[in-house]
Structure 1
Amino acid sequence: MEIRVKKFGYPVFIVLDKDGKMIKVQQSDVLEEGKGYSKEKVKEFFTTWAPKKG
């Protein structure tokens, strides 16, 4: 699995499907608020990309 670091920088969040295939790479800056991460933004990100039940 290759991630183009120059495009994304560090840190990033990487979402994999059940087979280990990369389905989403998210720059962390959009989840930041102040000097840390926004709990709401991070929760929304993981909720959006969590496996769907059913």
Structure 2
Amino acid sequence: MITTLEVEADSPQSAREMAISQANAMGYTRIEAVFTTPLGDRRYKVQMTVTR
């Protein structure tokens, strides 16, 4: 399944780590691919392929 989260972070790497932590907290146990897109003003869209 593909899920997308928007996060606020200082860098793309931080955004990626934050989104992965949020996905784990949501119960996703496997995260296979992560794509980070800057939205401006420290906001990032992080798209992940996940499974429970």
Give the TM-score normalised by the residue count of structure 2: 0.27
User: Larger relative CO (CA 8 A, sep 6+): 1 or 2?
Assistant: 2
Q: Which has the larger radius of gyration?
A: 1
Higher fraction of helix: 1
Higher fraction of strand: 2
